[in-house]
Structures are given as C-alpha cells and as structure tokens.
Structure 1
Amino acid sequence: MFYLTYNILSLFLLIPALFYHLYRSVNRGRPPALGERFGRIPTEDLAKINGRPVIWLHAVSVGEAIASRPLLKALRQRYPGHAIVMSTTTETGRSLAADFPDKDICIYFPFDFLPAVRRTLNRIRPDLIIIMETEIWPNFTREAHRRGIPLILANGRISDRSFTGYLRFSWFFRHPLRLFSRLCMQSTADARRIIAIGAPPERVLVGGNLKYDIPFRQIPGSERQALRHRYAIPHELTVITAASTHAGEEEPVIASYRELMASRDNLFLVLVPRHPERCSEVAAVLERSGIPYCRRTELDARGKLFVRGEVLLVDSIGEMMGLYALSDLAFVGGSLIPTGGHNLLEPASLGVASIFGPHMTNFREIAGLVLACGAGIQVDSAAGLTAACGRLLDDAALRRTMGANGLAMMEENGGATERHMGMIGEQFVEPVAKG
C-alpha cells in the first residue's frame, strides 16, 4: 500500500518537479539533461560498460563526490574487470565527477519515477549499487531489491539539523531503509539515528568517515611556487583562500580583507564561492568595495601578475585542492551563516591552517576533531574572523604548527575506505562477465 500511494502521488508531483528542475537548470546556465534523468542513457556510454559486471556508485553533489574518491579508487583496484558507473544529482556534481579517472561513465541519477527508474536499471544492469551518505528513494530502492541487486549505503550521515525531520517522517523512510543490504554509517551517533528512523539494527555498522581517507601530504615549496605561477600570484605574497563561501559571507570576508590590508603590505585573497553561478553577484560586491579582481576564467587573457590587495575570483570548479595547496591559510565557508559548514579536512590534508565559523552542524564531528588536534581555529563572528586571520598572518610558526597538526590528524584517523571495502566484499559476490 505504501508504494502504491507513493507512485500515485509521484504522478501528481512530477509536473511541478519538472518545472522546478528546468527553472534551476536555466537559472544556473546548465543543460537540464531530462532524457538521462528519465533513463535514456547515451548509446556511446552504454557501449563502454556492456559485457562487464557493473558497480554503480551514486554521489548527490560535489561534497559527496569528493568523499567518494577514496572508495572509487579502491573499487577500481579491487575489481579491475568491472565497469564503474558514477552518478550524481546536481550539475556541479556531474561536472566534477566526469573528470574522475577511475569511473567508466558518469550519468545523472534518474528521477524517482517508476518508469524512469526501471528504464535506467534495465540499461545499466548493475550488480552492486553504492549510495553515498543519505539518498533514500523508495522506487529506486525497491526496484534494486526486487532485482536482487545488493544496495549499500556508504559513509552514511544524519546531521543534527536533519535528524528531527527524518524522525518526523520515519513512517516514510522505514520502508526503503529496510531494503538496504548494509548501511555503513560515519559514527555511532549516525548509526543510532538511522536505526531510530527505521533501519534494521543488524544491517547497520560504523565504518568511519571516508573523507578522512583523502590523500594527505606536505606540499613542497617548489610545488607551491609552481601553483602560484599557474594562477599569476607572486611568490612573496601571503595568500588567504576563502573557500566555499555562501551568500552573506563574502561581505564580511571582503571587509576583513580590507581591514587586514590596512596594516600589512603583502596580502592576497583567493575567493571561491560555493556555487560558481553566484560569481557575478560576488563580483558586484567586490566592485562596490573598490577592490580590483580577476575571474579565474579570464586569468589566461590577463597577461600579468597579480599585486597585493587584488582578488582572484574563482568561477570554475574542480580546482579547490590546488588553491588550498598554494595558500598560507584558509577560511572554510558555509560556517559564518547557518548553512552547516564544509569540509575542513581538505586544507588539513595539505598542511594548511584553517579558520571556520560557528555553524558547523553538518561537520560537527570533523570540526571537533580539528579543534582537538590544533589544526584550525573556530570563530563566532566576522570580527572574530579578522582577529584570527591577523593572528595567523603575524605568526608563521603557528601556521606551520597547525598545518603539521592537520597532517598528523589525517594520518591518525584514516582507515574508513578499508572498512567499507571489507563490508562490500562480504555483500558482493563477484558476477561473471555479461553476454
């Protein structure tokens, strides 16, 4: 009765959902790819996977795609004869995942409309499906279960903010949750929450956070200089990177930059909005502030080096790790406003000290660890951001110590990929090649 009711409702909701999707795609200047979302996979993509067993790895957007990379690499190493299909829901996630070398093809995840789900599964014919973090779609889950395809939730997470909502609708989520073969959660708190929502306790385990398994290393000075040369940043400047900023954060970041420059003559800011389509809005803020800037996409045509007090405005994706690597310190956005924060492990993995705001509900565990290990500074306001930046700018030894602490933290807290792969090996009996 649950699935019958759900599918009747989905018929009524499909039209408004399509209009919303089209509006968002047009508004962000990206193709809607409706055919793919209804299961029409390009023939040339299907040709790349036909005849081989298929592992399907789904990551909703950029954050999940980044977290999936250690698992993706491990899957490629463990199952070299398999085709790996990567899917995303968002356009930015797709743009990033399309460049991952360990996948065979990258597609959009289908709408949870029964004909679209069935058509996609008929064409992909997966032997194993891995869903990153918390994507729970009733039709997709039921169809995979009906076909006998092991379905695994990897790196599962239920944030403080979302738990109340999930719990309120547990009557809805318990049906698809019962169809997962295994639910591998990041922490014991996440495990308790998914069980409270309706997951079978005997199928839930704690595997740790895959984000801790991103590669980590100290960046040699020669590599840092080469990166700065690529972005036309003089080697003598002290670089602050403000990463993954949201609306309401650029103004205080720029104000802090102006204040810090008043007493320092060697500062440079790299500003990376979380959503590149917001760059025109951010550019307007810079123009009102009287701060000269250059967009990343216009950098090659610029033909000269930056100077102190200017800004590199990044309107591209997929370059974040390189930008962290050339930085002296980083502010991780989504944290000065109640967005939930972003991944502090990325700068830590490159030995870069980080600063972040009070709103880290989506990364509470990671934020606590970063603070406990002395790898970052948490501030509670824009004034606090200015003070913390000033402290780190004036103390290079402290920056180096915090960077070293971040690298030690990464080394001590890895291992989630290995635990996930062990769990996958228990559930996944390798199939023979398909005819």
Structure 2
Amino acid sequence: MVYLLYNFLLLISALFLVPYYLLRGLRYGKSRRGIRERLGCYSPQQLSALRAKKNVWIHAVSVGETRAAMPLIKQMRLRYPDLQIVVSNVTETGHAIALEDKDIDLCLFFPFDFSWAVRKALHMVRPELIIIVETEIWPNFTREAHLMKVPLILVNGRISDRSFPRYRFARFLLRPILDRFTAFCMQSQTDAERIMTLGAPDGRVENTGNLKFDHDLTEITPEQVQQRKKHYILPDKTAIFVAGSTHEGEEKFLLEAYKKISSQIERDLILVLIPRHPERKREVQLLLKEFGVKYRLRSSLSEGDDLLVPGEVLLVDTLGEVLKLYSVADLIFVGGSLVSVGGHNLLEAALMSKPVLFGPHIHNFKEISAKLIRSGAGVKVANPQELVRQSVIMLNDPVRCCAMGEAGRSLIAENAGTTERTMRHISKALL
C-alpha cells in the first residue's frame, strides 16, 4: 500500500519533474541524453561498456557528493582493478565533475525513482554493489536493488539538523527501506545515532568519519601559484579574494563588501567570483553592471590578455577549476552560508592551505565548521558587515593567514582515515 501511494505521487510529480529537468538540461545542451538516462535508457555504446566488466555503481547526487567520493573511488580503482566503476549523478554540474575523474569508467544520470525506470536501469548496469554517497535514499531504487540481491552501502552518510525531524516523523516508512542496506558508514557519531533512531539496524552502522578529509595533500609550490595566476590573468603582487560556490543573494553582499574591503586594506585587491551554478552567469553579470563593476568572464580569457586590475572581478563561468583558483587566493569565502542554503565544502580551502571565512548558515557542515574554528583555520561571520571586518583584519595580516592555512592542512591530516574504514565494509560486501 505504501509503495502504491508513493508511486502514485511520483506519477503526479512527473508532470512537473520532466519539464523541469528538460529546461535545466537545455542550459547545458544535454537535455535529451539526460532525460533518456533518467528514464533508464542508454546508448549502444554505454550498454557495450556496461557489459564489458563487472560493475560497481556509485551514486553521488551533485558536485559535493562527487568530490567527496573521489578518495574512495581512487582506492577502489587500486584494490579492484578488474571492476568497472560506474558513477551516477542527478545534477549536470555533478555529472561534469565526474566526467573529469580518470578513475571513473562510465558516468550516467541517475534514473527517476519510477519502479519500471529503476528496474530497467538496474538490469542494464547489473551492479555487483551499489554505493550511495551521503543521504540519497530512494524507495523504489532500494527495493528493486534488494529484489535483485545487490548489496547497498551508504557511505559518508549524514542526517542534517534540518532533515532529521522530517525523517523522524516518517520513520515508520523509512525503517523497511533502511533494513535493505548492508552497511551505513556515517560521517559522525551524531549521524550514526540519528540513522539508528530512524530504523537502521545497530550492527550495520559505524561512525567511519568524513571522506572529505581524505583528499591528497598536494604541495603547491610558489612557482605553480605564479603560473596559475598568469593563466587566470591575475597580477602576481595583488591580493586575491576568492568567493566560491556563491548563491543568489550572496553576490550582492560580496560586491558591497569588495568595495569596502578594497578601501581599508594596505594592498590592492581583486575579487574572483565563482557562482555555484554557472548557468546563473547572466544574472550575476547584470548585478555587476548594476554595481558599475568591471569584470571578465573566465571563459573569455586567453593568453596575452591584459592583467586584471584592482577593482575588477573575475567571474568564473566554467566547471572544475575551484581548487586551482583557491590555490592562488590570499583569502577564501565559501558561499551558501550568508544565505540559508547550508554551506558548501569548507575543507577545499584548507586543502589548499588557505584561510577560510563562512557565514552563519552552515548546517550542512556543522561538524567541519566547528573543527575549523577550533583549530584556528576558519572564521565564521554573522553577517556581511562582519565579513568586511574580518576580511580587512586577515588581508592586512599575511602571517596570520599563512598560519591559518597551515592549521587547515594539519586538521585534514589529523582526521584522515575514513576511506580505509569505509573500504572494510565495501570489501566485505564484495566477497
């Protein structure tokens, strides 16, 4: 009865979902392919690839989940070279990030959770194991995987403060779904306790830690930083303030802050603005014009262009360059935190040995933000005015910024090991 009701509601929602994804896909020029794969239909080339080897299916909904899964994917490639790694995404941006990872054999869009669509997709992929990153639990998908006797593992699992009350209200529906998972590898003890409260069997739950701590700590030399600045037409001696993963409403705050910060620091300053969703480019361009700020698009840069000058903005309308741009920054602000989105990956700044600022809306990274603050690697600001004040203090104190960056790298090194703990559950499921 529950599944009948769920499928009926899905059918009604399809009247809105399909046009929505069609419009989103049009912005990327991939609409037909995205919709086709979300209905469980694959090309002859994809089907041929799927049948070439035994497959492990990893589902990572968007950019953050895809990047979080990369250390795990790398380790799986080393330990199981004969297995084919298939990664699915929901968003086009997540899909674009997955396509760049050489350890991934095939990238697909995740099917809509219609019984017939997921059944078709599962029979095409025929996975030995399904790994779900964070909290993408779809009733029909888990049910069909269970019927096919495919083990399901949740990795880097989390239950946010915002979603926990809603899940708890529906735990009588969640319990039979969670019972179909072989293991739950959760980000923290709080997440582990919450998933057990919702019905996950105690013996299958472990606090394995956060995969985001397990990215390689690659040393970026001053020469590499200089080369990257040249690549992005950024002057070598000017301070660079990078605002990453920004959302609607934040760019206005940041442009206002940019002008105030520039007038209060001892060095020249350039702002690099990286909207979370590149399709918002035109919207941000209009805002820049409204503020009377000169800007250049990342996609329009070419070798031989004049360097950006203080007061200009580099508007990044491409994907996959966040870490490179973070590596040339003197100070980083992570978006989705001045507006009520919940924040984005704060550890990417620490990975590049950079100090990081973030706003009050950081519930998606509650534990990580607390660790960054305690270690002295990050600062939480309450509002745009506090953002200006802290930015001025930090940009006028390069020694402090350097110390904060080193504290961030140390924090990552101290919390590594999640991949190894997670791999124990994966290896057991693949026996």
Same fold (TM over 0.5): yes
Normalised by the length of structure 1, the TM-score is 0.95
The 8 Å contact of residues 136 and 173 in structure 1, kept in 2 or not, is answered as no
Where 1:268 maps in the other structure, the secondary structure is: strand
Which stretch shifts more, 235-244 or 163-172? 163-172
Where 1:102 maps in the other structure, the secondary structure is: coil
Where do 1:54-133 residues align within 5 Å? 54-133=55-134
Q: 1:64 to 1:112 in 2, by over 3 A?
A: same
The 8 Å contact of residues 54 and 128 in structure 1, kept in 2 or not, is answered as yes
Map Cα deviations across residues 83-111 of structure 1 (whole Å, 9 max, x no partner).
11010011111111111110111000001
Where 1:300 maps in the other structure, the secondary structure is: coil
* Equivalent position of 2:54 in the other structure: 53
Normalised by the length of structure 2, the TM-score is 0.96
Partner Cα distance (2:153, 2:168) in 1 = 21
* Equivalent position of 2:373 in the other structure: 371
* Equivalent position of 2:201 in the other structure: 200
Which stretch shifts more, 162-171 or 384-393? 162-171
Partner Cα distance (2:88, 2:36) in 1 = 14
Where 2:338 maps in the other structure, the secondary structure is: coil
Where 2:237 maps in the other structure, the secondary structure is: coil
Where 2:428 maps in the other structure, the secondary structure is: helix
Partner Cα distance (2:36, 2:337) in 1 = 36
The 8 Å contact of residues 50 and 124 in structure 2, kept in 1 or not, is answered as no
C-alpha deviation, 1:27, in angstroms:
6.1
* Equivalent position of 2:136 in the other structure: 135
Where do 1:262-281 residues align within 5 Å? 262-263=263-264, 264-281=266-283
The 8 Å contact of residues 157 and 185 in structure 1, kept in 2 or not, is answered as yes
Partner Cα distance (1:308, 1:12) in 2 = 52
Partner Cα distance (1:199, 1:160) in 2 = 18
Matched to 2:132, the amino acid is I
Where do 1:11-410 residues align within 5 Å? 11-26=11-26, 30-32=30-32, 33-263=34-264, 264-300=266-302, 303-410=305-412
Partner Cα distance (2:232, 2:285) in 1 = 18
C-alpha deviation, 1:53, in angstroms:
1.3
C-alpha deviation, 1:301, in angstroms:
7.6
Where 1:127 maps in the other structure, the secondary structure is: strand
C-alpha deviation, 1:21, in angstroms:
2.6
The 8 Å contact of residues 56 and 85 in structure 1, kept in 2 or not, is answered as yes
Partner Cα distance (1:140, 1:302) in 2 = 51
Q: Which runs of 5+ in 2 are unaligned?
A: none
Partner Cα distance (1:363, 1:165) in 2 = 19
Map Cα deviations across residues 357-388 of structure 1 (whole Å, 9 max, x no partner).
11110100000000011001111011110111
Matched to 1:344, the amino acid is L
Matched to 1:15, the amino acid is L
Partner Cα distance (1:239, 1:347) in 2 = 13
Partner Cα distance (1:293, 1:319) in 2 = 18
Which stretch shifts more, 197-206 or 377-386? 197-206
The 8 Å contact of residues 188 and 209 in structure 2, kept in 1 or not, is answered as yes
Matched to 1:279, the amino acid is K
Partner Cα distance (1:290, 1:181) in 2 = 56
C-alpha deviation, 1:52, in angstroms:
1.5
Partner Cα distance (1:227, 1:377) in 2 = 26
Partner Cα distance (2:218, 2:100) in 1 = 22
Where 2:270 maps in the other structure, the secondary structure is: strand
Q: 1:288 to 1:122 in 2, by over 3 A?
A: same
The 8 Å contact of residues 24 and 31 in structure 2, kept in 1 or not, is answered as no
Partner Cα distance (2:13, 2:355) in 1 = 46
Partner Cα distance (1:131, 1:310) in 2 = 42
C-alpha deviation, 1:222, in angstroms:
0.5
Which stretch shifts more, 195-204 or 357-366? 195-204
Partner Cα distance (2:429, 2:211) in 1 = 19
The 8 Å contact of residues 138 and 175 in structure 1, kept in 2 or not, is answered as no
Partner Cα distance (1:380, 1:70) in 2 = 33
The 8 Å contact of residues 356 and 377 in structure 2, kept in 1 or not, is answered as yes
- Aligned residues: CA RMSD: 1.5
Where 1:184 maps in the other structure, the secondary structure is: strand
Equivalent residues, number: 429
Partner Cα distance (2:358, 2:391) in 1 = 11
Map Cα deviations across residues 203-238 of structure 1 (whole Å, 9 max, x no partner).
111110000111223421001001101101111111
Matched to 2:199, the amino acid is G
The 8 Å contact of residues 21 and 31 in structure 2, kept in 1 or not, is answered as no
The 8 Å contact of residues 239 and 267 in structure 2, kept in 1 or not, is answered as no
Partner Cα distance (2:290, 2:267) in 1 = 22
Partner Cα distance (2:144, 2:400) in 1 = 54
C-alpha deviation, 1:307, in angstroms:
1.4
Where 1:161 maps in the other structure, the secondary structure is: coil
Partner Cα distance (1:78, 1:27) in 2 = 38
The 8 Å contact of residues 218 and 407 in structure 1, kept in 2 or not, is answered as no
Map Cα deviations across residues 153-195 of structure 1 (whole Å, 9 max, x no partner).
0100111111111112223322211111111111110011111
Where 1:172 maps in the other structure, the secondary structure is: helix
